[in-house]
């Protein structure tokens, strides 16, 4: 193992690989900061470049863009309430309230340090136990994946703070909207009413930016309109002193345990193909709502509500490489593009990769740790610059947010219909806020819906429609018991609140 680490270090520290790692994390950070651009589109544009450089350098650069975007996506989520990446949607819940309290710098620092810690731990675990973790992922069949999705939906009830009926409604609405588009099994159009723009369903980035970002803009505009109508003045943003740009001892202490739990959650969920960083971040936040001693303060600007999902996001982004490197199974669309780079160079990812191409296997893993260090060095000095965004007056800042959001959404598919959808989901998000509904549960259900449908239908097709298949396998039976236990705990808490 020491020999393999030395090999990986030699590969990762090669000048050309250091250069491509830096380019990757820099581009990833920029992609994450600007709402709506998306990691996929940037990686797709740079894919031809990887065909003319070494496969190791190409994979290092693409991986840097992927996990670098997770770092950058939290910046706009914390400062503006607009997630730069769908995985940063959870960062809005506590990161944005922290910014409103004048703790934007502390929030950005907690986010960067939590991501760095998660990146280091997940990279170490990948190096030590990647083949073993790959076998664990292989043990999960469609039945277990379906139950994992159900567990996630029930866990989203923890976002409700007791308002379970409203949350169930939001989960139902999210699941329903996730079915819009072409049925992937039969090719039948569903709920698209002849509108071509809906044939592929609603893009996740459009929904997340609308429900969080545009809804926030609408709320601010309504608030300012009421102030002006009442004859009041719009307060200017107070200057933020330099000493508040980094977390206090109390905030740091509140972040350590959540970051550790989030890292573990991200590692566990990242190894499963198709789960991704977005679901891992929601899962980590849900766990914090259950186990944190100060759980009632989550959602009001608590450091734990930011540290846990940020750690989970980065850990899952990095461990999502494990299925590709050890099993030859791409865990997401972004990782599938990396697989294409390997295939162009006649490299077959899978169980034989570690023996036939150890320099690629260990070089990529060690470069991830170096990339995380680069991201930390890049992000911490920029905190003061980002925080100055909050000192821009609202009449200037709100139009900038609108322009950035609409431009980012348009660049996704070059479709003006996406801009209309963005505004409609913004209105929907505003209505949800007005009625005290859980936007978090809605977004999670929307993201989990296609995965739940795919694995549930596949399981029932394989079992000829028999639901007994969920109790015939020990792992799925365990997940069923876990779901039942969670429902009982929620029922007990609801009775206790009454």
Mean pLDDT (the chain) is 82
Please, which pLDDT band fits residue 232 given cuts at 50, 70 and 90? Answer: low
Q: How many CA atoms lie within 13 A of 243 on its CB side?
A: 2
pLDDT in tens, 348-395: 777 777 778 888 888 888 888 898 888 888 877 777 777 776 666 677
* pLDDT, position 240: 46
pLDDT score of 243 more than 60: no
* pLDDT, position 332: 67
Q: What string of H, E and C letters represents the secondary structure of 31-56?
A: HHHCCCCCHHHHHHHHHHHHCCCCHH
For 220, the token pair is 């601010």
* pLDDT, position 394: 72
* pLDDT, position 105: 84
pLDDT in tens, 91-122: 888 888 888 888 888 888 898 889 889 988 88
* pLDDT, position 233: 58
Residues 180-197 have a mean pLDDT of 87
pLDDT in tens, 259-285: 999 999 988 888 877 677 788 888 888
For 141, the token pair is 């069949």
pLDDT in tens, 398-407: 787 788 778 8
pLDDT > 70 fraction of the chain, expressed in percent and rounded: 92
Please, which pLDDT band fits residue 258 given cuts at 50, 70 and 90? Answer: very high
pLDDT score of 234 more than 60: no
**What is the three-class DSSP state of 189?**
strand
Report which DSSP code applies to 247: -
pLDDT score of 438 more than 50: yes
* pLDDT, position 160: 61
* pLDDT, position 372: 87
Q: Are 368 and 119 in contact (CB under 8 A)?
A: yes
pLDDT > 90 fraction of the chain, expressed in percent and rounded: 11
Query: Which distant-in-sequence residues (6+ apart) come within 8 Å of 21 by Cβ?
Result: 12, 60, 61, 64, 367, 370, 371, 374
Residues 59-68 have a mean pLDDT of 86
Residues 167-187 have a mean pLDDT of 90
pLDDT in tens, 288-334: 888 888 888 888 889 998 999 999 988 888 888 887 777 777 766 67
* pLDDT, position 159: 63
Lowest mean pLDDT among 79-83, 435-439, 460-464: 79-83
Please, which pLDDT band fits residue 177 given cuts at 50, 70 and 90? Answer: very high
Q: Are 409 and 205 in contact (CB under 8 A)?
A: yes
* pLDDT, position 173: 94
């Amino acid at each position: 193992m020491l020999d393999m680490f030395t090999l990986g270090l030699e590969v990762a520290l090669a000048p050309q690989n250091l250069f491509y790692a830096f380019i990757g994390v820099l581009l990833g950070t920029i992609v994450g900061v600007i709402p709506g651009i998306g990691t996929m589109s940037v990686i797709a544009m740079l894919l031809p470049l990887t065909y003319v450089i070494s496969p190791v350098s190409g994979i290092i650069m693409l991986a840097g863009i992927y996990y670098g975007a997770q770092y950058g996506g939290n910046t706009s989520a914390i400062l503006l309430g607009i997630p730069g990446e769908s995985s940063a949607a959870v960062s809005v819940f506590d990161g944005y309230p922290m910014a409103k309290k004048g703790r934007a710098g502390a929030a950005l620092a907690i986010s960067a340090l939590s991501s760095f810690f998660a990146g280091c731990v997940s990279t170490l675990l990948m190096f030590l136990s990647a083949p073993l973790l790959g076998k664990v992922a292989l043990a999960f069949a469609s039945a277990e994946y379906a139950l994992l999705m159900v567990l996630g939906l029930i866990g989203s009830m923890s976002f409700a703070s007791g308002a379970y009926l409203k949350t169930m409604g939001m989960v139902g609405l999210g699941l329903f909207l996730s079915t819009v588009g072409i049925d992937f099994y039969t090719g039948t159009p569903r709920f698209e009413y002849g509108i071509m723009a809906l044939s592929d369903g609603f893009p996740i980035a459009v929904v997340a930016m609308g429900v969080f970002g545009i809804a926030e803009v609408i709320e601010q505009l309504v608030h300012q309109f009421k102030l002006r109508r009442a004859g009041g003045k719009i307060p200017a943003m107070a200057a933020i002193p330099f000493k508040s740009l980094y977390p206090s001892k109390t905030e740091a202490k509140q972040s350590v345990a959540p970051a550790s739990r989030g890292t573990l959650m991200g590692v566990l969920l990242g190894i499963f193909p198709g789960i991704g960083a977005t679901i891992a971040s929601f899962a980590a936040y849900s766990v914090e709502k259950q186990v944190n001693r100060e759980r009632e303060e989550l959602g009001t600007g608590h450091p734990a509500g930011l540290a846990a999902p940020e750690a989970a996001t980065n850990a899952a982004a990095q461990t999502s490489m494990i299925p590709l490197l050890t099993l030859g199974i791409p865990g997401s669309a972004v990782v599938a593009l990396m697989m294409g780079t390997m295939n162009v160079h006649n490299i077959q990812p899978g169980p034989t990769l570690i023996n036939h191409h150890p320099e690629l296997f260990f070089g990529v893993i060690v470069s991830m740790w170096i990339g995380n260090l680069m991201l930390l060095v890049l992000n911490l000095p920029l905190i003061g610059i980002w925080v100055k965004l909050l000192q821009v007056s609202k009449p200037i800042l709100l139009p900038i947010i609108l322009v950035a959001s609409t431009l980012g959404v348009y660049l996704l598919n070059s479709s003006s219909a996406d801009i209309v959808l963005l505004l409609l989901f913004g209105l929907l998000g505003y209505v949800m806020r007005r009625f005290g509904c859980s936007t978090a549960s809605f977004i999670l259900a929307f993201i989990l819906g296609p995965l739940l449908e795919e694995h549930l239908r596949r399981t029932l097709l394989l079992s000829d429609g028999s639901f007994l298949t969920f109790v015939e396998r020990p792992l799925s039976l365990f997940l069923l018991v876990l779901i039942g236990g969670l429902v009982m705990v929620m029922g007990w808490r609801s009775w206790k609140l009454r």
